[in-house]
Structures are given as structure tokens and as C-alpha cells.
């Protein structure tokens, strides 16, 4: 598969088994990381976990979370 630019000088390509991440200084690759399927799963689990933590933190700190449920003045 063709190498794809992800941003911040990072490129990704897939060889049918693993994902190869490289960084480039514009002339040549400066770093290579090979993500086998198990490592990729661990990375995706990590990303999901931190995204969920950030989402929960945002929800807890949003103005809507501090509004009482009975804002309309109705008594339960």
C-alpha cells in the first residue's frame, strides 16, 4: 500500500501485516516504528481510553452538567 502523510512529518504505510510509521526531515526517513497487529490494538485501546476520559471530563465540567434536573420549577 502507498505511503500516506498523516501530518507533523509522520507517514504511514501498510505491508499486509503491520503498519510502518516513519518520520522524515524532508530528505530521508529519520525514524521507523513497526506496529504489529497486537501493538496496534494496544495503541487503539489506549486512544479509546484517553478519548473516553477526556469526554467524561468535558461532560463533568460542562455548564449543562451543573443545571438541576428540575430547572422548570417543578417539584418531583
Cell 485501546, residue?
Answer: 45
CB 51 within 8 A of CB 43: no
pLDDT tens for 5-48 read 999 999 999 999 999 999 998 899 999 999 999 999 999 999 99
Which residues 6+ apart lie within 8 Å of 16 measured at CB?
Answer: 1
Predicted model pTM: 0.67
Distance of CA 42 to the CA centre of its chain: 12
pLDDT tens for 49-73 read 999 999 999 999 887 656 566 655 5
pLDDT of residue 74: 57
* Residue-range domain boundaries for the chain: 4-63
CB 34 within 8 A of CB 18: yes
Amino acid at each position: 500500500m502507498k505511503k500516506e502523510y498523516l501530518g507533523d512529518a509522520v507517514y504511514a504505510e501498510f505491508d499486509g501485516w503491520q503498519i510502518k510509521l516513519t518520520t522524515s526531515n524532508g530528505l530521508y526517513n529519520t525514524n521507523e516504528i513497526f506496529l504489529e497487529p497486537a501493538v496496534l490494538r494496544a495503541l487503539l485501546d489506549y486512544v479509546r481510553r484517553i478519548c473516553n476520559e477526556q469526554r467524561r471530563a468535558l461532560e463533568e465540567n460542562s455548564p449543562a452538567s451543573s443545571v438541576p434536573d428540575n430547572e422548570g420549577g417543578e417539584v418531583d
